[in-house]
Chains A and B, each alone.
Chain A
Amino acid sequence: MSETATKRIALDRSSREGAPQGTPPAARAKPRRSVSDRLFAIWGILVLLFLFAPIIVILVYSFNTGRLLIAFDGFGIDPFLTILNKPAIQNAVWVSIRSGVLSALFATAIGTLAGVAMARRPGKWVGWFLAVLVLVTVTPEIVDAVSLLPWVVFLGQDLGITIFNDGIFRLVVGNSLFSIAVVSYIVRARLVGISESLEEASADLYAPPLRTFWRITLPLAMPAVLAGGLLSFTLSLDNTIISSFVSVSGTTPWPVYVLSAVRSGLRPEIASVSTLMLIVTLLSLVLVAWVLKRSGDSATEIARTMAGS
């Protein structure tokens, strides 16, 4: 083992010394493709297949012409046509999109302000605020759900604040919690990395604070704001647990419709709508990646931003 190791180091050294300056690491990693490298690649591809398996199944089953989703009968676009005759499904998707857009706009506005404040007005309060955000992030969704239900019922019916009886508003409240945390993290992370000198220059040139915010701070934070907004939109579209507790009959969002279908019987249209929604989600993700890439982030930084760390 030691002999081959020495050889490998020697080979690696020679290839590195021979290579011109600035060669990407990929180029010099080529000569040492060992068995373990191949095992890693095989494992990685197997895991990717595992991750894609149910999605491929849903894509295939969205063309199932049978009556039940789970029993594949034949291949056809019938389930996609069925959607047209099902106002309940169309309504559910529409509710999801409306509440998703509203929650995304709201969470992005509030979260951006909080993120800017954390980055530009540091102090002891930031620690407290981050602690609350972490608590929001780590609380299981089911706990948020069961606690929001009695709370909105109390506010809406006992206190008579009628907006809390509105289905869309309830969904926006439920979706907003996690989204606000995500947007705040991302915006803060972006602005902490940028020096405050431009804002100081703007203030020196007699721009009032509000104009500095609009013309300097916000444009600087824009990639993070857009990324955060689109992430909150996809998170809201996906929100099942909180939505299923707070939603009012008549304004059932799509995931809640699917959850009730799990209990009463799944039909192929569910897969077809999911296929269409997957395309929408993918397009918005591509948009996020494109916006981040245009602002010059590398793939790793994009992953870091999206993972919220």
Chain B
Amino acid sequence: MPKLRLPKATLALPAWVWLLAFFAAPVGLIIWYSFGYKPSIFGTHANDILSLDRYAEALSPTFFSTFSNTLWVGVVGTLACLIIGMPVAYWMAVKVPVAKRGLLIAAIMIPFWTNFLVRTIGWQIILAPQGWLSQGLQAVGILDGPLEILYSRSAVLIGVIYNYLPLMILPLFVAFDRVGEPLREASKDLGAGRLQTFLRVTIPLARPGIIAGLLLVYIPLMGDYITATVLGGAKGNMAGQLVAAQFQSAQNWALGSAMAVILILTILLSAAVLGLIIWLATLPFRSHYRLRLGAEA
């Protein structure tokens, strides 16, 4: 029987079509809108005159401070997640007995799968000036007055660190776990101290996981909208809210689209710059010989 040869990607065709129709096409549409303008009070967008004016408007001092604020929260939040999460991932992968790991992974994942918005509301309760934390700190004598942290950039920072920390810990755990005990033992047998083993063996081999963790945290964090809405108030604005406001309240789709495009470009560019900085900073620790995991078996 002659067989009908379908093209290789036939099974993926529905996914292709769906993603083109509801991802590529709409994103393409807002890129197109971003070159237009808002024609009147009631119109949302018009494209009969094309210009880059909306980009200039989006980067004007009024909005620029929000973009730089977002970048600050993004970079500081991601680094804080790395610093807080790395010892936890190392502890889970190296120190904790294998039998208990499953439970710990589940414990890390539970907050991750609880409603994002509700968790953030939990922080709103904790950080409230009349809340338990505030009263406790005053009773102990650490604070003189009520805790004045809610609706500020610091509250947003705490919120984003909290919300994205599991996304850092999980890939780091997988990476540290893959390095495995024998290689660390070998390094120690060859005379390296603990710190040297960590810096020269564990970290270089876990690099893909570290990079994955940084990206998994940094990208959604930069586009965050909910944390800043719930905890930020007027002082802790982020770019996501700026974009949302142009579409929801100001009804200026052209400006909102330009802001969305700038947000994506900021994320991509700053991730590239951050990557370059990390690459340069780790150069002194790089050894001449590269060990590939999985190749030694």
| Interface positions of A (Cβ within 8 A of B) | 1, 5, 9, 24-26, 29, 36-37, 40-41, 43-44, 47-48, 50-55, 57-58, 61, 69-71, 109-111, 113-114, 116-118, 121, 123, 125, 129, 132-133, 135-136, 138-151, 154, 173, 176-177, 180, 184, 234, 237-238, 240-241, 245, 255, 258-259, 262, 266, 270-271, 274, 277-278, 281-282, 285, 289, 299-300, 302-304, 306-307, 309
Contact = CB atoms under 8 A, between A and B. Distances in A.
Given A51-B108, A54-B122, A142-B244, A117 B117 contact: no
Contact of A184 (B15, B99, B224, B243): B15
A307 B124 contact: no
9 contacts: A121-B9, A136-B23, A142-B263, A144-B27, A176-B22, A180-B15, A258-B118, A281-B114, A306-B109
B273 to A, nearest CB: 16
Nearest to B193: A5
Nearest to B123: A54
Contact of B110 (A55, A266, A271): A55
B121 A146 contact: no
Contacts of A50: 162, 165
Contacts of B117: 240, 255, 258-259, 262
B87 to A, nearest CB: 5
Contacts of B226: 240-241, 259
Interface of B is mostly: helix
B147 interface: no
B12 A151 contact: no
B39 interface: no
A149 B10 contact: no
Contacts of A140: 219-220, 222-224, 240, 263-264, 267
Interface string B76-103: 0000000011011011100111110110
B247 interface: yes
A89 B89 CA distance: 39
Contacts, number: 274
B43 interface: no
B98 A25 contact: yes
Contacts of A281: 113-115
B142 interface: no
Nearest to A256: B117
B166 interface: yes
Nearest to B192: A5
A232 B97 CA distance: 31
Given A54-B122, A121-B9, A303-B105, A143 B110 contact: no
Contacts of A1: 193
A58 to B, nearest CB: 5
B119 interface: yes
Nearest to B259: A146
Nearest to A237: B115
Nearest to A50: B162
A290 to B, nearest CB: 12
Contacts of A123: 8-9
Interface in B235-293: 240, 243-244, 247-248, 253, 256-257, 260, 263-264, 267
A299 B165 contact: no
B91 A43 contact: yes
Given A44-B91, A53-B122, A148 B26 contact: yes
B165 A51 contact: yes
Given A143-B243, A309-B212, A117 B30 contact: no
Nearest to B223: A140
Contacts of B111: 51-52, 54-55
Contacts of A71: 130
Contact of B29 (A150, A234, A309): A150
A91 to B, nearest CB: 17
Interface string B18-46: 11001111110110010000000000110
A121 B8 contact: yes
B148 interface: no
